[in-house]
Amino acid sequence: MVDIIQFVQEFGAFRNTALPTPGEIGRALWDSAYLHDELTGLYNLFAWYALEEVSNIWYRYLEDNRARHAELLA
């Protein structure tokens, strides 16, 4: 099992760039009372990840509920 810091560092988005430090990831995740301009890339990455996860769940739901899928496409 991987901790959240390592999980984020293993995102494919960092293939060609330097990994964010554990401190940067921690501030982006747990210091949300303050927006840190230098962490905008991480905030965007978290938003992208959340959207992808929701999209995958929605896709699986529609695959299992063909009538609802057809209704949405009508």
pLDDT tens, position by position, 24-66: 999 999 987 788 899 999 999 999 999 999 999 999 999 999 9
Helix (H, G, I), strand (E, B) or coil at 66: helix
Task: State the total domains in the chain.
Answer: 1
Residue 22 near residue 5 (C-beta atoms within 8 A):
yes
Instruction: Give the pLDDT score at 68.
Output: 87
Cα 67 from Cα 55, distance rounded (Å): 18
Residue 8 token pair: 């984020």
Residues spanned by the domain of 32: 4-73
Instruction: Give the pLDDT score at 28.
Output: 93
Spell out the residues 6+ positions from residue 43 whose beta carbon is closer than 8 angstroms to its own.
28, 35
Instruction: Give the pLDDT score at 2.
Output: 84
Residue 12 token pair: 């494919």
What distance lies between CA 12 and its chain's CA centroid?
11
